[in-house]
């Protein structure tokens, strides 16, 4: 999120950011310092349908065209994925299709890979399976 906000601030990301919705309070100060509305929605297994309804309501109220998931760390429901098809991008910290799901860095380390990466992809109901938009890699050592 910090990198996205920085790129937006310097004009390298030519978009209108209408707000940030997070399930982490620790981003509030960073977002507010950029004069962007911040919305906290707590997500638990018990309130997930209500949390997703709140998110969808905010998207509709603000006229949001695209949602970018950065450190959201929640699997979206099939229903939300269908309603927002083609309008949600996830930033996943692995070179997909390798190391899907949680803890991709740990998975990569345990596998001993020599290249790590990041992938931006459209979100679908299948975890980390959506169409890939962009990828980048970096060579690493385990020394």
Residues annotated as catalytic (active site), given as ranges: 128
Contact (CB, 8 A) for 54 and 68: no
The residue among 110, 37, 99, 102 whose CA lies nearest residue 75 is: 102
How many angstroms separate the CA atoms of 21 and 25, rounded?
10
């Amino acid at each position: 999120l910090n990198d996205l906000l920085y790129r937006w601030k310097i004009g390298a990301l030519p978009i209108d950011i209408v707000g940030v919705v997070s399930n982490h309070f620790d981003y509030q100060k960073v977002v507010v310092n950029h004069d962007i509305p911040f919305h906290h929605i707590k997500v638990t297994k018990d309130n997930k349908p209500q949390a997703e309804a709140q998110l969808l309501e905010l998207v509709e109220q603000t006229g949001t065209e695209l949602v970018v998931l950065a450190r959201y760390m929640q699997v979206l429901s099939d229903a939300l994925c269908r309603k927002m098809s083609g309008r949600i991008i996830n930033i996943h910290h692995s070179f997909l299709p390798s190391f899907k799901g949680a803890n991709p860095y740990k998975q990569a380390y345990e596998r001993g890979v020599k290249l790590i990466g990041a992938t931006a992809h459209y979100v679908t109901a299948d975890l980390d399976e959506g169409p890939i938009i962009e990828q980048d890699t970096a060579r690493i050592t385990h020394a």
